[in-house]
Amino acid sequence: MAKRSVKIDTKELEAAVEEVVGRMGVIERFGKAADHIEGLADIETDRFGIAVATHDGGMVMGGDAETPFPIQSISKVFALTLALRAFGDDVWKRVGREPSGDPFNSIVDLERHKGKPRNPFINPGAIVVVDMLLDIAAKDETHKTVRDFLAAEIGEEIKVDRTIFDKESSGGFNNRAMANMCKFFGNLNHEVDAVMKPYVSQCAIALTCRQLALAGRYLMDGGEKPLEDESVRARRVNSLMLTCGQYDGSGDFAFRVGLPAKSGVGGGILAIAPGLASIAVWSPGLDENGNSLLGTLALEQLAERMGWSVFG
Amino acid sequence: MAKRSVKIDTKELEAAVEEVVGRMGVIERFGKAADHIEGLADIETDRFGIAVATHDGGMVMGGDAETPFPIQSISKVFALTLALRAFGDDVWKRVGREPSGDPFNSIVDLERHKGKPRNPFINPGAIVVVDMLLDIAAKDETHKTVRDFLAAEIGEEIKVDRTIFDKESSGGFNNRAMANMCKFFGNLNHEVDAVMKPYVSQCAIALTCRQLALAGRYLMDGGEKPLEDESVRARRVNSLMLTCGQYDGSGDFAFRVGLPAKSGVGGGILAIAPGLASIAVWSPGLDENGNSLLGTLALEQLAERMGWSVFG
Amino acid sequence: MAKRSVKIDTKELEAAVEEVVGRMGVIERFGKAADHIEGLADIETDRFGIAVATHDGGMVMGGDAETPFPIQSISKVFALTLALRAFGDDVWKRVGREPSGDPFNSIVDLERHKGKPRNPFINPGAIVVVDMLLDIAAKDETHKTVRDFLAAEIGEEIKVDRTIFDKESSGGFNNRAMANMCKFFGNLNHEVDAVMKPYVSQCAIALTCRQLALAGRYLMDGGEKPLEDESVRARRVNSLMLTCGQYDGSGDFAFRVGLPAKSGVGGGILAIAPGLASIAVWSPGLDENGNSLLGTLALEQLAERMGWSVFG
Amino acid sequence: MAKRSVKIDTKELEAAVEEVVGRMGVIERFGKAADHIEGLADIETDRFGIAVATHDGGMVMGGDAETPFPIQSISKVFALTLALRAFGDDVWKRVGREPSGDPFNSIVDLERHKGKPRNPFINPGAIVVVDMLLDIAAKDETHKTVRDFLAAEIGEEIKVDRTIFDKESSGGFNNRAMANMCKFFGNLNHEVDAVMKPYVSQCAIALTCRQLALAGRYLMDGGEKPLEDESVRARRVNSLMLTCGQYDGSGDFAFRVGLPAKSGVGGGILAIAPGLASIAVWSPGLDENGNSLLGTLALEQLAERMGWSVFG
């Protein structure tokens, strides 16, 4: 595992982060905040934050790195991790691991594949993963939710944004359509309402960039004291983030940034430089695929400057 | 670019290759050779070859590493490289760079996206890329075809398998359907027949594992004398190989192997360990996604043993 | 309206019905009862009933014409009629009137057409129609439900099959998926649960062939005392039954039988010979499109024998 | 067959046609002529013609009833008739008889149903029918083409519009895509080019309304001397025209007009009142589904006035 031994030049990283923050500050087009999710639409789209947790325990921050934002779909990474720890490869009996192509295809694919979602990062896939977490909770009362998991990884208390939670709880008809379709095909063990609640709840968890970067450390190196299993698991989650992590912009993100990453419609992105760093960026303006516009640009520049792309 | 300085332990690599070859020799299920491509169906499916060209100029081989096979879709990588050299980012005006999801969706996507294929590694995408190569040839008589490119990279004369070429020339109705659809939407400058000929021809190029590994070296390090442009280009082609290189098994391949790679229905796979190695494997038995069954397994074991996964 | 004056030869009709019943009695393949709807699967599939209400007030019956069965999707015809009476052409702002092609396309079409179902006889279309009936009920407390409508047309009390109702109430996840999709696109004014209840209830209404034939009379001649509006409405409902009434077998049914008709998964079919007769058949064995196998065959033979096809 | 004996009041029909022509003359929105078919786009869209051939041998005309126009897709009706005469029900082994839903679905359906088009009136269906006509021609040198058939039915020499033919021969890439897809699935016996030529040729046949109404007589009564077979065949072709004859506007046309009909992108429509009349209308302005806007309106008014809807 030669790559792990690579040292990060902290000064260079600090300079890179500073430069990226500076560049983001002069950009005048930030995309549009998600308007289909109430409570997100009124945020100032020019805000930007970044935090980099390095393999050697360092933390480099810039911009609004201490402003909390709802992690939304980034929670899918942590939910998947919990499911993999409990069920191992059985997870893949209920959810696939292929990119889903055009968003248009999602419900078609669900129908064609008889309720088995293409991957755990599209909404129906995450809904099935949450259903698995309920299966664990039913058997094991010490079961950790995504919120517990994050609290443990970060070492701080984690909050759910009640405004977001309340607003999303009363809607989400598209997700309910997907959940019912999964249920129709027998791929949901619990009631649709019972699954939607923790699903919406984990999406509404609010983290700062600093906290999110801390939470992603286990993916950069497989845990502080890497066990073999955890290391393999991290590698696999990284592969899914790279192929499926940015909605219908995953190919473009891999092309431009070259790092495994997961975005959320709240404007956050968690990116992993394997063996090197766990990076969190946030800026609420989204591009046409629903990924943070400034966040993606910042990661592109940082990865280029630091030579962190996994593709050479 | 710290990763580039990593040394490969040649002895360890030789041992790993030997072990992989040994393991492949005792496996009794090899998948099925492609029967929809005449001339490929009667090959012995238990054959296996591997060749690894390392960053420091070494070459480690095992099994049937000197048996030629038709590279088929692997040619799409080289065609794309030529198009990128000539047109740069204009390539992406005519072809996308997103995974295409279910194979079922391919012609639907083509219709929905008005003749712009999802990526250059699905057939309609490669057909549009070949159309670009004809555009170059029309202006520049020193233009290199995929065959010329391979001859230069490998330093040997390259042959087209005439049997394969003749048989595929008289069929390919699915590809002709795709080509006509692209033409209908104005995304094909030349006549369908004029494009199909070089398309079929580059698919019928026959290489050995050793030759294919040599041909892929430019992707591991951006050319023998890496220019900045070539290096960026290699990184980008690698990203496309990882997200789109194994048909509908790309996500699974990334999950298991963790290397950018492109497979062909002839049973070959070219995989890149960025900064480290260019690897070619061949075994004609295919899995249900059309990727070499033993080839994928061998790459999985080699990457695991050598710690080459880009995901940590 | 010359066609209306045509007399039916009652003796010929009686002979035809007797002959049809006799033929159905010797057929040995009856299709398969719907197994996805609990409570329907254990019915004897060789049962067959027929009732013909003629324009001149006659009634000719044969076989199990007095056995009640759940009308299921045939209720969609009556619900549509109530919606048309209340909203007129405004109905078509929320639901289309085109055949839907392959059943596979239903949810795709729903997505592409932004929650506007293709026609009122596919499930999402009928769900939207039931939502309209709730709109009426909210404003008009004398509003008639499908059950009230049927009671008035038939002149008898109408029952809902509680077993069917109870069983279908606890499932229907596919329909709930569709309903949520309509709601997502703003094409459902009431809560999904509030709509599903009357939807399931009208499907569970049990009628005999005799009752169903009586209920369909208004479609053969536009009501006992045909008002101009009612006559136009009947003609239009007939056109929808012909193009969309038999799921994905509508074209085949028009080709073989040549009469506007609506089938239900309970094995019933209501067919209309405009100006001549309202015909109900029932046999619980279904063909691969979900239409009564013997019922369709019986209608084909009766229409042929009586020269009732609308196509000459 | 009581309906056949109905007499048409010629004076009433003449008055109705005159009224319809008058109304069409004051309408100011005519739709848009087909611009994707070169040679059609420069026609004056306010032109309108109508011709009604009655069961008793009469002919009532109005407007531009003697102006020739390319029949385009209306030719599919005659091609199907020839195929049915030669192959009977074997035709349905290679082409279905269900409405195709959204035009978007056409190539998807073709893929899903393994090259078997949904019905003979969508382009791939007609292409397969033309392939059948070539099968007949290969065995029987006295074989009649659509042009021969029309010449015999009308009793006049029939011309192909060479401008239309030449222009369409050099394009049609969407149709060629469909044809290649059929060929790929083994549902085309002849070469794509060999099939496209007569396909384009029959579309370019030019008829006047008078001629087209004469050509359709066999569908109103099964031929001048109705043989049993021909009568059944006419009824079946009528059923297909009603469910599938107006592209994605078939349901709407049945709803508004209530007659079996086939439209062409040249602005013509052939409609059949079974047992009563064969009606041809022409006006080159098209609605959003590609059907003649004034032509459809004229048929709606004529059918309403004469009480000809098959739906009562």
Options C116, C146, C247, C292, the catalytic residue: C247
Cα radius of gyration (chain D): 18
Is residue D169 part of the annotated active site? The answer reads no
Same domain, D20 and D56: yes
D contact chains, 3+ CB pairs < 8 A = B, C
Does the residue A93 lie in any domain? yes
Report whether A123 belongs to an annotated binding site: yes
Does the residue C103 lie in any domain? yes
Give CA–CA dist C111/C103, Å, rounded.
14
Percentage of chain D lying above the pLDDT 90 cut: 77
Same domain, D49 and D139: no
Report whether A73 belongs to an annotated binding site: yes
- The region that residue C67 occupies, defined by phi over 0 for left and psi between -120 and 50 for alpha, beta otherwise, is beta
Give CA–CA dist B178/B124, Å, rounded.
6
Does the residue A311 lie in any domain? no
Is residue C76 part of the annotated active site? The answer reads yes
Helix, strand, coil % in chain D, rounded to nearest 5: 55, 10, 35
Cα A158 to chain centroid, rounded: 16
- Annotated binding-site positions of D for substrate: 73, 123, 168, 175, 199, 247, 265
Options D17, D76, D262, D263, the catalytic residue: D76
- The region that residue C140 occupies, defined by phi over 0 for left and psi between -120 and 50 for alpha, beta otherwise, is beta
Query: Which residue, B147, B141, B138, B153, is CA-closest to B79?
Result: B147
Query: How far does the CA of residue B289 sit from the closest CA of chain D (Å)?
Result: 18
B contact chains, 3+ CB pairs < 8 A = A, D
Q: What is the pLDDT of residues A122-158, one digit of tens each?
A: 999 999 999 999 999 988 888 889 999 999 999 999 9
Q: CB A171: neighbour CB atoms within 10 A?
A: 15
Q: What is the mean pLDDT of residues A9-28?
A: 94
Q: C185, C203, C221 — which closes off a domain?
A: C203
Answer yes or no: do D184 and B177 touch at CB < 8 A.
yes
- The owner of tokens 């000929």 is B197
Query: How far does the CA of residue B106 sit from the closest CA of chain D (Å)?
Result: 10
Options B20, B60, B73, B195, the catalytic residue: B73
Q: Are D272 and D241 in contact (CB under 8 A)?
A: yes
Does the residue C57 lie in any domain? yes
Does the residue B311 lie in any domain? no
Q: How far is CA C138 from CA A289, C75, C133, D289, in A?
A: 41, 21, 9, 37
Q: What is the mean pLDDT of residues A296-312?
A: 96
DSSP helix/strand/coil, A32: strand
| First-to-last C-alpha distance (Å) of chain A | 16
Work out the mean pLDDT of chain A and round it to a whole number. 91
| First-to-last C-alpha distance (Å) of chain D | 17
A contact chains, 3+ CB pairs < 8 A = B, C
Answer yes or no: do C312 and D238 touch at CB < 8 A.
yes
**CB nearest B101 (choices: A100, A240, A274):** A100
Q: D136, D170, D203 — which closes off a domain?
A: D203
Q: What is the mean pLDDT of residues D89-101?
A: 93
Using H for helix, E for strand and C for coil, what is the string for chain C?
CHHHHCCCCHHHHHHHHHHHHHHHHHCCCCCECCCCCCCCCCCCCCCCEEEEEECCCCEEEEECCCCCEECHHHHHHHHHHHHHHHHHHHHHHHCCCCCCCCHHHHHHHHHHCCCCCCCCCCHHHHHHHHHHHHHHHHHCCCCCCHHHHHHHHHCCCCEECHHHHHHHHCCCHHHHHHHHHHHHCCCCCCCHHHHHHHHHHHHCEEECHHHHHHHCHHHHHCCCCCCHHHHHHHHHHHHHHHHHCCHHHHHHHHHHCCCCEEECCCCEEEEEECCCEEEEEECCCECCCCCEHHHHHHHHHHHHHHCCCCCC
Q: What is the pLDDT of residues B120-161, one digit of tens each?
A: 999 999 999 999 999 999 888 888 899 999 999 999 999 999
Options B20, B195, B237, B265, the catalytic residue: B265
Q: Is the pLDDT of residue D2 over 50?
A: no
CA angle D146, D102, D94 (to 5 degrees): 45
* Mutate: best of D9, D84, D239, D246, partner C, most C CBs <10 A: D239
Same domain, A100 and A196: yes
Answer yes or no: do B310 and A274 touch at CB < 8 A.
yes
Q: What is the mean pLDDT of residues B174-201?
A: 95
- Annotated binding-site positions of D: 73, 123, 168, 175, 199, 247, 265
Answer yes or no: do C250 and D99 touch at CB < 8 A.
yes
Query: How far does the CA of residue D177 sit from the closest CA of chain B (Å)?
Result: 4
Six token digits for residue D3: 């309906």
Q: What is the mean pLDDT of residues B15-27?
A: 95
The dihedral formed by the CA atoms of B13, B19, B21 and B24, expressed in degrees to the nearest 10: -140
| Pairing of the two strands A205-207 and A268-273 | unpaired
Domain count, chain D: 2
Q: Is the pLDDT of residue B119 over 90?
A: yes
* Mutate: best of D180, D182, D187, D192, partner B, most B CBs <10 A: D180
Report the greatest alpha carbon distance in chain D: 55
Does the residue C311 lie in any domain? no
Strand partners, C63: C49
Among B3-12, B124-133, D171-180, which range has the highest average pLDDT?
Answer: B124-133
Answer yes or no: do B102 and A112 touch at CB < 8 A.
yes
Six token digits for residue B294: 């033993």
Using H for helix, E for strand and C for coil, what is the string for B170-231?
CCCHHHHHHHHHHHHCCCCCCCHHHHHHHHHHHHCEEECHHHHHHHCHHHHHCCCCCCHHHH
Does the residue C312 lie in any domain? no
Answer yes or no: do C177 and A173 touch at CB < 8 A.
no
Residue in chain B nearest D182 by alpha carbon: B173
Answer yes or no: do A242 and B6 touch at CB < 8 A.
no
Q: Is the pLDDT of residue A1 over 60?
A: no
Q: What is the pLDDT of residues A169-208, one digit of tens each?
A: 888 999 999 999 999 999 999 999 999 999 999 999 999 9
Q: Looking at this protein, which amino acid is placed at residue A40?
A: L
Q: What is the pLDDT of residues C226-251, one digit of tens each?
A: 567 888 899 999 999 999 999 999 99
**CB nearest A251 (choices: B243, B248, B307):** B243
**CB nearest C104 (choices: D112, D258, D309):** D112
**The sheet that has B59-63: what strands, in order across it?**
B59-63, B49-54, B277-282, B268-273, B261-263
Chain A CB contacts of C111 under 8 Å are 104, 107
Cα C300 to chain centroid, rounded: 17
Chain D CB contacts of C254 under 8 Å are 239-240, 242-243
Same domain, A127 and A222: no
Answer yes or no: do C178 and A177 touch at CB < 8 A.
yes
Same domain, D220 and D180: no
Give CA–CA dist D232/D89, Å, rounded.
12
Does the residue C126 lie in any domain? yes
Same domain, D212 and D199: no
Q: A143, A176, A203 — which closes off a domain?
A: A203
Q: Is the pLDDT of residue A104 over 80?
A: no
Q: Are A143 and A198 in contact (CB under 8 A)?
A: no
Question: What is the domain extent for residue C119?
Answer: 73-203
| DSSP assignment string, A201-225 | HHHTEEE-HHHHHHHTHHHHHSTTT
Same domain, B199 and B78: yes
Query: Which residue, C108, C111, C117, C127, is CA-closest to C189?
Result: C127
Chain B CB contacts of A272 under 8 Å are 312
Same domain, C89 and C190: yes
Query: How far does the CA of residue A141 sit from the closest CA of chain B (Å)?
Result: 31
Query: How far does the CA of residue C103 sit from the closest CA of chain D (Å)?
Result: 10
Six token digits for residue B267: 């049973």
Is residue B200 part of the annotated active site? The answer reads no
Query: How far does the CA of residue A4 sit from the closest CA of chain C (Å)?
Result: 47
Same domain, C169 and C213: no
Is residue D265 part of the annotated active site? The answer reads yes
Q: CB B288: neighbour CB atoms within 10 A?
A: 10
State the catalytic residues of A: 73, 76, 199, 247, 265
Among A44-53, A221-230, B195-204, D39-48, which range has the highest average pLDDT?
Answer: B195-204
| First-to-last C-alpha distance (Å) of chain C | 16
**The sheet that has D261-263: what strands, in order across it?**
D59-63, D49-54, D277-282, D268-273, D261-263
Q: Tell me the residues of A at the C interface, defined by beta carbons under 8 Å apart.
A: 104, 107-108, 111-112, 173-174, 176-181, 183-184, 192
Same domain, B222 and B299: yes
Q: What is the pLDDT of residues C23-71, one digit of tens each?
A: 999 887 778 887 655 555 566 778 999 999 999 999 999 999 999 999 9
CATH label of the domain that carries residue B117: 3.40.710.10
Options B75, B76, B278, B283, the catalytic residue: B76
Kindly give, in sequence order, each residue whose CB lies less than 8 Å from that of residue C214, ignoring residues fewer than 6 positions away. Answer: C53, C59, C153, C154, C155, C278
Q: What is the mean pLDDT of residues B202-214?
A: 98
Among A49-53, D108-112, D220-224, which range has the highest average pLDDT?
Answer: A49-53
Kindly give, in sequence order, each residue whose CB lies less than 8 Å from that of residue C242, ignoring residues fewer than 6 positions away. Answer: C250, C254, C259, C260, C261, C310, D242, D243, D254, D311
Q: How does residue D184 score in pLDDT terms, banded at 50, 70 and 90?
A: very high
Cα C18 to chain centroid, rounded: 24
Answer yes or no: do B6 and A3 touch at CB < 8 A.
yes
Q: Higher-confidence residue: A100 or C281?
A: C281
Chain B CB contacts of D183 under 8 Å are 173
Answer yes or no: do B107 and D104 touch at CB < 8 A.
no
Residue in chain D nearest B106 by alpha carbon: D108
- The owner of tokens 């370019």 is D204
Work out the mean pLDDT of chain B and round it to a whole number. 91
Same domain, A191 and A234: no
Query: How far does the CA of residue C234 sit from the closest CA of chain D (Å)?
Result: 8
Alpha helices for A185-278 (secondary structure H)? 192-203, 209-215, 217-221, 228-244, 250-256
Answer yes or no: do D100 and C101 touch at CB < 8 A.
yes
Q: Is the pLDDT of residue C116 over 80?
A: yes
Options C20, C75, C76, C262, the catalytic residue: C76
Same domain, C93 and C189: yes
**CB nearest A105 (choices: B2, B102, B222):** B102
